[in-house]
Structure formats: C-alpha cells, structure tokens
Amino acid sequence: MKTIDATPKSSAAGVTWDLTPLYASTHDDQLGNDLELATARASAFEQTYRGKVAELDATELHNALVELQELRELMDTPAIYAHLLHAGKTDEPEHGRLVALTQETSTAINRHLIFFELEWVQVDDDHADTLLKDPALKDFAYMLELERRYKPHRLPEGEENILDEKANTGSRAWGRLFEELTSRLTAEVTIDGQTKTLSQAETLALSYHPNRETRKSAADGMTEVLRSNLHPLGYVFNVRLQDHASDDRIRRYSSPMAARNLSNQIEQSSVDALVEACVNGFPIVARYYRLKQQLLKLDQLLDYDRYAPLSADLPSYNWATAQDIVLESYNEFSSTLGDIARRAFAERWIDAELRPGKRGGAFSMGGTTTTHPYILANYTDTVRDVMTVAHEMGHTVHQFLSYGVGYLQAHTPLTTAETASVFGEMIVFRRLLDAQTSDRAKLGLLASKIEDHFATVFRQIAMHNFEYRAHVARRKEGELSTDRLSELWFEANSEMFGDSVILRDDYRVWWSYIPHFIRTPFYVHAYAFGDLLVLGLVQRYQEQGDAFVPRYVEMLTKGGSVSPIALMEPLGINLGDPAFWSQGVKVLDELVSEAEILAEAIA
C-alpha cells in the first residue's frame, strides 16, 4: 500500500499569530534588554526592601507592590514569547534555547525577589490585619491575604532559591521533554485506502470521523505510537509523581491535592462534593451511550466509536464561517465581549493552522497587560473545532478584561479559569443549534454538545480519579510500571462507561499523552468545576435576561482579585453548597432526555 507522508490541509492554513507586539524575533535586542533591565530592577528592589517589609506602612507596601508588579510583567514577557514560539513549533532548536534562557534568567531574577514574600508571611498577624484593612492597600489586599495562607509551607530563603533553581532541571525540564516528545508523535492512518502519516492532533481529530474504519485506524495508529513511546512517557510520568510527592513532603502538605486546593482557593470538601456528584452521574453517561449505540445501529459501541457523529447532515465550517459565528454569538451576548473577539481575529492573536512540530490541542495564554492574550488551536473545519475556538475565545476575553486589576492579580485560580471559556461555548452552541433545519441535524449537534459536556465533566472526573490513584499508588508502591498505570487508567474509565462502551485492551495506554498530568497536577477536575458552574450561570442568564450580562462582564473584570465564592455571589451562585453540583449534573441528565425525545421523533 502506498504511504503518503502528507498533512491534510484545513481552511485555517496561513492563520498564524503575530508575535511582534511582544518581540520582532528571537534576535530582537529588546528581548535581551528586557531581561537585563528586569535583573537590574530586581537587584535594586532587593536593596531597597530586604529586611524592611515588616516595617512598611500601608502606602509604602502599596508602592513596593506596584514596583514588584511592573517587574514581574517585565521579566515574564520574554518567557511568554518563548513559550508561544515553542508551542507553535517545538522542533525548532532556537525556540527551545529561548525557553531555557528565559527560565534560567527568571530563576536568577527570583533570587532577588523571593525574600519579599517570605518576609510578608512572617509579619505579625495583628500588624498584617491592620495593613490589610487600610484603604491604601485595597487593590492588593486579597493577594496579600492569600499569600499569608502559604506560611506553613514556606521554607527558609536559601532553600526556596535552591528549589526554584533545581526546577529548571526538574519539573520544568520534564514538562518540556513531555511536550516535545508528544508533539513529535506521528501515526500511520489509513483513509480511503491510502495510508497517511499524521500528527497527534490530526490523528485524534479522526475520532470524530463518520467512517468507522477510519476511526478504528486512527485509534490503532495512536495506540501503536503510544506503545512504542510508552517507556519514556511512563518514566516522565513517574518522575513527576515522585517530584510532586517530594514537594509535598518538603513543604509539609498533608495530601497529594492539598497544594492545588490552596492555589485553587477551595476546600477539599468542595472537591469531594464535586467528584461525588459527578460519579453519581456516571449512569447518565452509560444511558446516553446505549442510546448512541442504537442510533448508530452497532452491535457493540467500542472505544473508537465514542465520538462518532450521529448525523452526516452536520455541515463543515471553514475558518471564515467559524469566525463569523463566534463573532456574532459573542457580540449578540455582549458588545464588550464582541469587540475583544473582533480584535483577536483582526489583529492575529490566533494561530489555527496545522503544521508539523506544532503543539497539539488548544490554549489561550494571557500575555501581558500592555499587549493581549494569544490563542493556539489546530483547526480542522468541524463543529467541534468551532466550539474549541469559542472556548479559547472565552479565555481570551476573560484574560483581557482582567488586566484592569493588574498583572499580579489578573490570573484566576483554576476553579474559575474555565468559566468564561465554557460559557463562550454555550452561547455559540445555541446559535449553531438554532441554525439546523432538521431534527436529525439538531440531534447530531445536540449529541455533539452532550459529548463535549461529558468530556468536560465526567471524563475529567474519571481522569482526576486516575491521577489521584496514581499519586497515592506511587507513594505506597514505589515506581509504577506502565502496566500498573494502564490498570489504574482502565479502572477509572470503566467506572464511567459501565457496560455501555467496550474499552479494548488498546485503550489502556491512552493515559500516556495527557499533558495536564505532567504540566499541572490535579488540573483536570477544574474543567468539571467550570462546566457545572457555567450550567448554573446559563440558568441565571435564562432567569435574569439582559440584566445578567453586565454582572457577568463585571465578574470577568475581577480576575483573581477576589475569592471564587465572593466572585459568584452577585450572580446568585453559592459555590459552598454541595447541592449546586448535583443541580448541574441534573441539567446534563435533561440534555440526554432531550436527545432521547429527538431520537424518537426521527425513528
């Protein structure tokens, strides 16, 4: 059989981001000048404030924080540029060199700055409380309060500096290696009698192909390439599991999730309530997939059938059409959001084309307050791709609006980071659903959305359960074999699907390409948190109508400057109520009921 080493084209060819607002090129003198200036300013900051933080009054502390904020943004700008370059083409050595340079320089700069946080957490509690109530510090009060919560986990300055420097050859290095390994993976996939060599992103995209043999070939190709790389991928995962355990021991965290919960500003009890509600909803997943098996007229629904489209009537969407749909949806909801989205398309904040060496998946990176966020996508003209662009655009408008609270507080905790992205998906989905002209097409689109919700809620919780069990097992059993990791993965996913989907033995190794396990331990449950939270927001929007919109936009402008609970209170949502998560799961149950009704109508 003829082998074709070619990448299928999409309508997003040529849609690449413009990084010149950051720097003109890797050889831009300004890049080096910024690193030198940041180093000099950090040294001056240390000379000015070391040993004096406890003596500062509120105005002096405010002035110090303003300088620190400017300094952090200055030092981060080269690192943001390096990250974007590397994500766009991981196989370019110059990009990897710049990533290493910016990481090493940031570590050197942090040696001048780390004293400030350490001295602040040691300030007497009564004095700290007085400062935090002073109007002069109102812009930074919540951030300072959060920092003090880390007091039990801070180490002496010398040890903090060592840990930060060693991270460049530890967790950061392993994360980069994983990213470079997986972005280089290619699979042999047979499509219409021809074998093509496809990237990981292109191979995974074929999970949604209407032809069953194509889906199987893509799944088999992905499995083969994962198995052939299982040793290095498994070793990287094991190292990160042990590295996380070492961090927890050194910093005196009581459990694998404690550090993440602190950064997410949430209690373990709330995470447990979220997980319990989703696990209790697993029968909804099985119910839906049994319906899907009937609609596809299959004797068995196998793992590579999970995302098979129900309807061939669903149109494809070229890049220009996707742009129009996203812009119209955002603008109809809010002209403020629509204006930001328009700029994102017009000013080339987006990189959507497919190319060798490009990182798979999608993300929106916050950028700097003097530039703008950037979106990476791998666009292949499907409904799902439109929703991905809508999702990342939600992140972008959120990040852009949060610049007003300043660089240090613009970043949201993971608990609310997915709010605007999933909400963006929902407003675009409703436009797409209304545009369908037949019950069959509506069912196909509804099924696609249900599956997206399942992937964001139930699958992420299954992944969370796998990840948690892997961390616990690594601490009890020592280094885990790839067979042991595969066993834990298979167990967690089987719990979700029950008997509705036959998971082949091949599926056991599919834990090995998930980047969040390596880059950001215990991230994945934040997707479920965000999705169920958005279902609550959609309900409030339906109840309140136009009055909801300014409250929602105001919420986005606050970034991470207030707690998640306080952020949602004006919108009528109580994140501390365990029943809230069950209400979100009930909405998903109702969507499946809607699909069952449509299925009966077209039978």
**Range 284-290 average pLDDT:** 97
Of the candidates 451, 457, 460, which has an alpha carbon nearest to the alpha carbon of residue 524? 460
Average pLDDT of every residue of the chain = 92
Look at residue 455 and tell me whether its pLDDT is greater than 60.
yes
Look at residue 160 and tell me whether its pLDDT is greater than 80.
yes
**What pLDDT, on the 0 to 100 scale, is given for residue 578?**
77
| Rounded distance between C-alpha atoms, residue 140 and residue 136, angstroms | 9
Look at residue 580 and tell me whether its pLDDT is greater than 50.
yes
Task: Encode pLDDT of 330-381 as tens digits.
Answer: 999 999 999 999 999 999 999 999 998 999 889 999 999 999 999 999 999 9
186-191 and 350-351 beta bridge pairing = unpaired
Task: Encode pLDDT of 79-125 as tens digits.
Answer: 999 999 999 999 999 999 999 999 999 999 999 999 999 999 999 99
Q: DSSP labels for 125-183?
A: HHHHHHHHTSGGGTTTHHHHHHHHTTGGG---HHHHHHHHHHGGGTHHHHHHHHHHHHH
**What pLDDT, on the 0 to 100 scale, is given for residue 7?**
41
**What pLDDT, on the 0 to 100 scale, is given for residue 5?**
37
Look at residue 9 and tell me whether its pLDDT is greater than 70.
no
Tokens of 235: 């070793």
**Range 202-212 average pLDDT:** 91
**What pLDDT, on the 0 to 100 scale, is given for residue 239?**
96
pLDDT confidence band for 575 (50 / 70 / 90): confident
Whole-model pTM: value is: 0.80
Residue 513 has phi, psi (to 5 degrees) of: -110, 5
Enumerate the β-bridge partners of residue 191: 194
User: Quick one: which H or E segment has residue 29?
Assistant: helix 29-49
Q: In what order do the strands lie in the sheet with 350-351?
A: 350-351, 374-376, 363-365
**What pLDDT, on the 0 to 100 scale, is given for residue 4?**
35
User: Highest mean pLDDT: which of 435-444, 470-479, 557-566, 580-589?
Assistant: 470-479
DSSP 3-state of 193: coil
Task: Encode pLDDT of 485-512 as tens digits.
Answer: 999 999 999 999 999 999 999 999 999 9
**Range 455-471 average pLDDT:** 96
| Rounded distance between C-alpha atoms, residue 572 and residue 569, angstroms | 5
**What pLDDT, on the 0 to 100 scale, is given for residue 215?**
95
| Rounded distance between C-alpha atoms, residue 289 and residue 297, angstroms | 12
pLDDT confidence band for 536 (50 / 70 / 90): confident
pLDDT confidence band for 134 (50 / 70 / 90): very high
| Rounded distance between C-alpha atoms, residue 452 and residue 288, angstroms | 13
Look at residue 1 and tell me whether its pLDDT is greater than 90.
no
**Range 13-40 average pLDDT:** 96
CA distances from 115 to 40, 160, 183, 394 (A): 16, 9, 38, 36
Task: Encode pLDDT of 421-449 as tens digits.
Answer: 989 999 999 899 888 888 888 898 899 88
Task: Encode pLDDT of 187-197 as tens digits.
Answer: 999 998 899 99
Neighbours of 232 (CB within 10 A): 13
**What pLDDT, on the 0 to 100 scale, is given for residue 2?**
34
Q: Cβ neighbours of residue 366 under 8 Å, at least 6 residues apart?
A: 373, 399, 410, 411
Residue 374 has phi, psi (to 5 degrees) of: -130, 140
**What pLDDT, on the 0 to 100 scale, is given for residue 6?**
37
pLDDT confidence band for 414 (50 / 70 / 90): confident
